[in-house]
Amino acid sequence: GAGVSQSPRYKVAKRGQDVALRCDPISGHVSLFWYQQALGQGPEFLTYFQNEAQLDKSGLPSDRFFAERPEGSVSTLKIQRTQQEDSAVYLCASSSRASGNTGELFFGEGSRLTVL
């Protein structure tokens, strides 16, 4: 596709449920990022992939958060046993650059998660 595609756009989960959020980056983009954006705040870094390798997962808030990109294209962010504080917009971004400053990040529209 022409841009970064994320699904679902909206997800409501009951506390304790597991959720999976999908990201389809721009075709051929090597770098893929996940960011978390709470209401009224800027995006916060979660994790970074270069192709299928997860090079940085320092921003994942707890071991309930898990991300993968097994074939170096589509990525999934999984949140286990969701808590109310997990409610946020989860943004996926991709870049064509592989190292150093990745320059322009192209963001998807995000997956808005609400945990009741």
Partner 1 sequence: QKEVEQDPGPLSVPEGAIVSLNCTYSNSAFQYFMWYRQYSRKGPELLMYTYSSGNKEDGRFTAQVDKSSKYISLFIRDSQPSDSATYLCAPSDDYKLSFGAGTTVTVRA
Binding site for partner 1 (CB under 8 A): 4, 31, 33, 35, 40-45, 48, 56, 91, 93, 99-105, 107-110
Q: Closest separation between CB of residue 72 and partner 1, Å?
A: 16
The Cα 7–Cα 55 span in angstroms is: 23
Q: Closest separation between CB of residue 100 and partner 1, Å?
A: 6
The Cα 94–Cα 73 span in angstroms is: 10
* Alpha carbon distances (Å) from 58 to 2, 5, 15, 67: 30, 24, 24, 12
Taking the least distance from each CB to partner 1, the nearer of 79 and 92 is 92
Taking the least distance from each CB to partner 1, the nearer of 79 and 93 is 93
Q: Closest separation between CB of residue 42 and partner 1, Å?
A: 3
The Cα 42–Cα 73 span in angstroms is: 26
Identify residue 106 by its one-letter amino acid code: F
Taking the least distance from each CB to partner 1, the nearer of 66 and 107 is 107
